[in-house]
Amino acid sequence: MSQKGRDSTGGKRGSVWLLGAMLAVSGCSKASSSDEASGGPTTQSEARAEGGSTTSKLSDLPAVTGLSTTTVFAQRLAQATPLEETTAIHVKLAPPANKELESSLVRVVGDPKDPVVLFSSDALAQLGRIPKSPGPGFFTLFSSLKDSELDRRTNSEKEVAEGKFGPITKETILFNGRHPAARFEGLSLDARAIRGGGMVPIAGCPALPATSQNVWDKALLIRDPAVVQNPARTWDPCTGAGTQGGKWTFSHLIKEMAQDSGTTAEDFVMKWLSNWLNDYTVNGDLVQARQNMFSEVIQPWATASGQVASLVFNTSTNKWQVSSTGPLNLDIAPFRLLAIVNRIDLAGSSGGYGGSSTAGELRFVFGMTKPTNWGAGTEATCNLKLFTTIIEYGVPRTGCQQVIDWARDWAQLGTHTSFDATYLTKLESMTESVVLHGSAPAKGNKNALNQLRTNEISLVLGGASPQWELREFQLADENLTDTAPDARTNGLLRPHTVALTPSDAGNHDPDIDPDVNQFVLNDVKVGVKLPVTVPTACVSSFKAPHKINGNFFLGGSALVNPPTHWEAFGVNSGVAQEVCARKEFSGNTCNGCHFGDTALDGTSGNNAFTHISPTSGIPATPSKFLTGGGVGFMFGVPDTQFGAGLTSWPFADLLRRHQRLYDIATCTTCSPFFGFDVAFLARMEQVAGVVPFDGLASAEETKFKIGPIQDLERVQQLLELRSEFAKEPRDLPLSFLRPPEVFVH
């Protein structure tokens, strides 16, 4: 029986920003065809082979027009709607996954409890509700776009062009999911044309600050000693340098996290570490103990704290537990800061209809150490361990403008040429606004934590086959039925399934598992955005259930190597949609993302199992999945089931994150959109007899008769009903219906 694999991000995806399975990027197929015709990145000029993987130039990607990448148009209405909306927003939707809905004049996407309802642009033009339709395949929703917002966006573009955020480039890389696909020049927002009633594209930025190592290091993946070994804000358990309890220490973050937990911060940490001392089960998956947690972490930490700790067996509970003469000293925790990571690229990937107005995550990456001379040694006596702990916070910013402000703060940090006092003070202010107790009143312990993850091979018992294991913990009680969200309650860090990855329970095997095969060829394949062209047009929107066919599916941890990736034995290598589905599933598991699908095997200069190395010293080395092999390059990884003979999947993730940061900070236009709820869908079913829902929800979640609405009279009735069911408007970007982002790292 092979071991388990899981995704280590566990991020939950919300209704709105996952609607990209509905979106079609015209021009993508053209770009991908050019790439495919030339043999793909692995045969491009100056490609360098590296252990089966390749590094090639981004400049080798085909060029397409900016207009061909546009999926959203704005058009001022001749007369406001009954809800006083002034602007039609037209969105190009891909063919629905449910073929029956192809002829529907109404489309409902997202979460049925928090739906987005769109009307055929052609139908609205026939009814005289909009001046003109952009053409077949476009669907319309309405907003109240203000002139002041148009002016703000125009001024923002001007700031970029004038170099406020650094030297600029007019070329943008088109990413399809995480894969570089083509090059294009964006289009300016024509505010005058919108005011005059013209149909105006809402396209990519006309100019962006040019990507550079400086921006990566100061605004995206901060690893420099000036930050991670800052004497005022960090403390090094190896050398004793720094300030105990500083604002970027493990101690500070845990003390804020433990408030309202019902126990002390010291006990909070001890109970978290004690999870490794005994077997536990999550979703039917037995997570085996790794008792070296005691000898490698707890006992030496206790000794350094001036305490005596022992591992004892409690006969009344049948569990191993720690007996100590006193608490751990959190201020000397053996976790050394490796990086502060801005994941604003995850903005909108969680949180319901308003999910598009969330600001992503802020992450702290720590490497575990076992110093020979605790707090008084040198780098040579540090004893760095293959063990990372990542604390991942949901940034508590809501609403389009707040997200823009957060992005602009990061963009401003990227303009600094050094880690000067102004930079450090601003970064501290930003991180404190996220990590302090009370920053997220609706979450467990009023803390903004989304999840805490570990990735280690240092706790393997002597004689055991070495395997990396990834675990996840949340301040939440997991709902294992898939019918409701997890309960964010106060208390301790609790073990959680690792999202999107099968367990090793039952018959789950990376090569011959029928449940995985069914899931890939059904759920994941249905979520693939069409048209598909391997390798540059392949993304899928999907969510993995706790059970499939009555069998437990998601696991409580992930053991890596084996397996190195997941395969689906029924996939036909000649069917692009199936090849894409298999890759999307495997690449979003821990096994794939920490080994095969990103070439994290430790060879050819790439990392082994970690995207930020805990043993490379300071600054920590990032993986080529992140860097692409360097500024201006992309890193190609052979398909893990079919090999490079079929295709190689390109990555340049820091560039993707860079572009996303500045897209939000400088090229986003905000506007209020009315929300609707399930009551509107219930009335829709009464009026039309069906609901044209085409989302990720199960039949149990929808509870409506699904079918197309095909006559104009029903469209007219539903338009009139909008006023009756509209909820409070939410501040969203005009392009909030974005392509799918099932990102795990």
| Residue 215 backbone phi and psi in degrees, to 5 | -70, -40
Q: What is the pLDDT of residue 702?
A: 75
Reported as a pLDDT band with limits 50, 70 and 90, residue 572 is very high
Least confident of 29-33, 51-55, 594-598: 29-33
- 557, part of any domain: yes
For residue 88, tell me if it sits in a domain.
no
- Please tell me which residue, 58 or 602, carries the higher pLDDT value: 58
**735 in any annotated domain:** no
Look at residue 413 and tell me if it is in a domain.
yes
Asked, for residue 714, whether it belongs to a domain, the answer is no
Q: Of 667, 666, 672, which is closest to residue 145 (Cα–Cα)?
A: 672
Average pLDDT over residues 407-429: 98
The answer, yes or no, to whether residue 40 has pLDDT greater than 80, is no
The pLDDT confidence band at residue 505, using thresholds 50, 70 and 90, is low
Residue-wise pLDDT for 197-216, tens only, equals: 999 999 889 999 999 999 99
Q: Residue 353 pLDDT more than 60?
A: no
How crowded is the C-beta side of 674, counted as CA atoms within 13 Å?
24
Average pLDDT score over the chain: 89
Quickly state the pLDDT bin for 385 (edges 50, 70, 90): very high
Mean pLDDT of the region 95-118: 90
Q: How far apart are CA 56 and CA 41, in angstroms?
A: 6
Longest CA pairwise span in the chain (Å) = 80
Residue 326 counted as domain residue: yes
Peptide bond into 334 cis (omega under 30): no
pLDDT at 562 over 90: no
Q: Report how far Cα 266 is from the mean position of its chain's Cα atoms.
A: 31
Q: How confident is the model at residue 508 (pLDDT cuts 50, 70, 90)?
A: low
Tens of pLDDT, residue by residue over 305-330, are 999 999 999 999 999 999 999 999 99
Number of domains in the chain: 1
Judged against a pLDDT cut of 80, whether residue 8 lies above it is answered with no
What integer is the mean pLDDT of 701-726? 94
C-alpha neighbours within 13 Å on the C-beta side of residue 532: 20
pLDDT at residue 503, rounded to an integer: 87
At 696, is the pLDDT very low, low, confident or very high (cuts 50, 70, 90)?
confident
- pLDDT band of residue 30 (cuts 50, 70, 90) is very low
Least confident piece of the model among 64-73, 79-88, 312-321, 561-570: 561-570
Q: Which two tokens stand for residue 609?
A: 């199992």
Which residue carries 């469209």 as its tokens? 715
pLDDT band, very low/low/confident/very high, at 586 (cuts 50, 70, 90): very high
Give residue 315's pLDDT.
97
The model carries a pTM of: 0.92
Structural domain containing residue 288 = 1-16+57-70+146-669
Q: What is the pLDDT of residue 357?
A: 56
Between 147-161 and 653-667, two packed helices, what is the crossing angle to 10 degrees?
130
Q: Who's near 166: CB < 8 A, 6+ residues apart?
A: 209, 210, 212, 215, 414, 415
Whether 742 is covered by a domain: the verdict is no
737 within domain boundaries: no
